[in-house]
């Protein structure tokens, strides 16, 4: 019958009342009748675990008995913060469902590289000891250079810091369920303020930002006391044009330490590939969605974007205090009166902050996952808007509920007897011979390398195969299933449009205005991401998470010489890679 599959559905074991069955029967073997419901069903109890109770139900159904489980329900009330009803973005993220799985881990540190912090009731008990990395006293606004005081020294004017950092920090982790203010995405993580943007239009120098990244990740910076609470997630809600090797090296060093770095895609309404640091390798680039769930008009877009998160309906350069329902409500400050307040703002800065909060929940749900798998979980949990995203918004709109559910499944499979890994990350040991940075850029080592090795070993077992293969859901109830290749060979990449010519032993493609390049990847399943990269300086020009693997090639990549080497690289969930490289010419 049509009803039978519904009755046989296997709910999560945590909602099953153990040892209780509801049946239209006078007696059940091995069970005691303890009551009768208003509809005539009898309540039977027995000594059994939730799993055993489900199995007993199934046996009785096979015998034709009208029986079902007794299940727990719980209220869906949100946190009691007075401003929670204003936070439409949390509903869009499906945060309420995610919080049923985890509200975060107090052992996890999230670094916010921005304008610093302010004294605010919604930050009480949430802040780790940060640092001010601004070397220019005039931009620092505090009369000196680098120092241990990471307070935001600006004010609420547009030409000042506008308290950008506090607004971003509140989204990630404002104190929640405390009866006042707002709700942060993560209720428990520690927020580490790292001041790298100053009072002059919240701008900062690459040299200061790079040292801030390294310090936040627990690496050593000459002349600076070592960070005692290294971050597992770094938020960088800022950007600008121009590639920076110093920033790329710093990001690579953080990634090698097992840190997930998240950046904003930019607010220029153009290709995200030129907005740094969001466009760098090993940075998750986040575009902004408006209240309708579609790409916001101001948001950057394109193949380099990993996913979208709520950013607001219109871009405001700074929190204004004006109640703008389509924008994002978060913590701010009024310098003149010395009053902590809440204000509205919008932008990819806010979107990146929401993604950072979700990343913290994912890492709380599965602490031992390396950053590349956390990023894959979040992409896999994103949903493309119903109308699509023609310009390119990565994997779509982030779903926090799906993300933490996938993370829990991975943790259960990869750690069947429990994991000893924690969210704590010890500071890097200082090597006497160099006295400063200790990680080889781009090479996974220490903690991250151990985790990657562990996952690869787990993949040898059939039951662990679903851990990393494109995160296909591992059989989650009600979710779509995708088949995954069982092959251990690396993916292959073939450029299919336009058909390249073969010149002097090289593939060559003429790049004109509006030219797109499309590649076919084999196998078609189990692919984490496909990227288009400039070989000379490792600039990522595009990144997509699923077919069709199509990339727009901007004309500027050719430069004065009118020729450059590009590669399309496919990465599978095991970390294996395959690529096809070609000379792009005018």
Which residues are annotated as catalytic?
Answer: 114, 164, 349
Tokens, residue 352: 């990146």
370 Cβ contact partners less than 8 Å away, ≥ 6 residues apart: 258, 444, 448, 451, 452, 455
59 Cβ contact partners less than 8 Å away, ≥ 6 residues apart: none
Q: Strands 67-71, 16-23: parallel, antiparallel or unpaired by DSSP?
A: antiparallel
116 Cβ contact partners less than 8 Å away, ≥ 6 residues apart: 130, 132, 150, 151, 152, 153, 161, 165, 166, 193, 195
DSSP 316: B
**509 close to 498: Cβ distance less than 8 angstroms:** yes
Tokens, residue 455: 């996952």
Query: Locate tokens 């995708």: which residue?
Result: 482
* Phi, psi (deg, nearest 5) at residue 579: -150, 160
CA gap 248, 179 in Å, rounded: 42
Which SS3 state, helix, strand or coil, does residue 493 take? strand
Task: Count Cβ atoms below 10 Å from residue 517 Cβ, excluding itself.
Answer: 24
CA gap 136, 133 in Å, rounded: 9
SS (H, E, C) 208-266: HHHHHHHHHCCCCCCCCCCCCCCCCEEEECCCEECCCHHHHHHHHHHHHCCCEEEEECC
Residue 70's Cβ-count burial label (10 Å; 0-12, 13-18, 19+) is middle
135 Cβ contact partners less than 8 Å away, ≥ 6 residues apart: 145, 146, 205, 207, 208
Q: Which helix (H) or strand (E) holds 55?
A: helix 50-62
User: Nearest CA to 113 among 191, 194, 219?
Assistant: 194
Opening angle at CA 502, ends 496 and 506, nearest 5? 100
């Amino acid at each position: 019958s049509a009803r039978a599959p519904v009755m046989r559905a296997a709910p999560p074991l945590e909602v099953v009342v153990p040892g209780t069955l509801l049946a239209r029967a006078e007696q059940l073997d091995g069970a005691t009748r303890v009551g009768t419901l208003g509809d005539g069903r009898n309540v039977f109890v027995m000594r059994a675990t939730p799993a055993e109770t489900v199995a007993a139900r199934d046996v009785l159904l096979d015998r034709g008995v009208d029986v079902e489980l007794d299940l727990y329900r719980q209220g869906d009330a949100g946190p009691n913060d007075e401003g929670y009803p204003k936070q439409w973005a949390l509903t869009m993220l499906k945060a309420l469902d995610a919080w049923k799985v985890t509200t975060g881990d107090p052992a996890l540190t999230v670094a916010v590289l921005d304008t610093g912090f302010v004294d605010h009731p919604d930050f009480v008990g949430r802040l780790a000891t940060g640092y001010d990395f601004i070397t220019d006293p005039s931009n620092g606004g505090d009369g000196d250079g680098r120092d241990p005081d990471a307070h935001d020294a600006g004010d609420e004017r547009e030409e000042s810091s506008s308290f950008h950092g506090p607004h971003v920090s509140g989204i990630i982790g404002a104190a929640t369920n405390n009866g006042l203010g707002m709700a942060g995405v993560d209720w428990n993580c520690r927020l580490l303020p790292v001041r790298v943007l100053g009072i002059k239009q919240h701008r900062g120098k690459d040299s200061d930002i790079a040292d801030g990244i390294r310090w936040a990740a627990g690496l050593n910076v000459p002349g600076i006391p070592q960070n005692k609470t290294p971050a597992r997630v770094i938020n960088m809600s800022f950007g600008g044009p121009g590639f920076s090797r110093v920033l790329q090296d710093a990001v690579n060093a953080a990634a090698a330490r097992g840190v997930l770095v998240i950046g904003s895609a930019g607010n220029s309404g153009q290709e995200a590939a030129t907005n740094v640091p969001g466009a760098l390798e090993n940075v998750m680039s986040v575009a902004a969605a408006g209240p309708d769930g579609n790409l916001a008009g101001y948001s950057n877009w394109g193949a380099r974007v990993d996913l979208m998160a709520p950013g607001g309906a219109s871009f405001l350069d700074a929190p204004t205090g004006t109640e703008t329902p389509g924008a994002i409500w978060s913590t701010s400050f009024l310098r003149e009166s010395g009053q902590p307040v809440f204000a509205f703002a919008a932008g990819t800065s806010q979107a990146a902050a929401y993604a950072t909060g979700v990343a913290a929940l994912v890492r709380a749900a599965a602490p031992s996952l390396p950053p590349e798998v956390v990023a894959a979980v979040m992409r896999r949990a994103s949903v493309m808007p119903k109308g699509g995203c023609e310009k390119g918004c990565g994997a779509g709109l982030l779903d926090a509920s799906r993300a933490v559910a996938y993370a829990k499944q991975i943790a259960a499979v990869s750690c069947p007897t429990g994991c000893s890994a924690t969210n704590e990350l010890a500071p890097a040991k200082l090597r006497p011979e160099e006295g400063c940075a200790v990680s080889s850029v781009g090479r996974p080592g220490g903690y991250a390398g151990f985790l990657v090795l562990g996952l690869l070993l787990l993949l040898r077992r059939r039951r662990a195969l679903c851990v990393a293969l494109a995160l296909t859901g591992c059989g989650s109830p009600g979710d779509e299933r995708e088949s995954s290749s069982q092959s251990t060979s690396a993916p292959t990449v073939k450029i299919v449009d336009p058909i390249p010519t073969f010149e002097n032993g090289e593939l060559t493609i003429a790049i004109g205005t509006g030219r797109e390049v499309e590649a076919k990847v084999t196998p078609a399943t189990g692919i984490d991401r496909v990227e288009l990269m400039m070989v000379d300086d490792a600039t990522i020009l595009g990144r997509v998470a699923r077919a069709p693997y199509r990339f727009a090639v901007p004309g500027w990549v050719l430069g004065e010489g009118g020729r450059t080497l590009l590669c399309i690289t496919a990465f599978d969930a095991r970390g294996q890679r395959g690529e096809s490289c070609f000379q792009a010419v005018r």
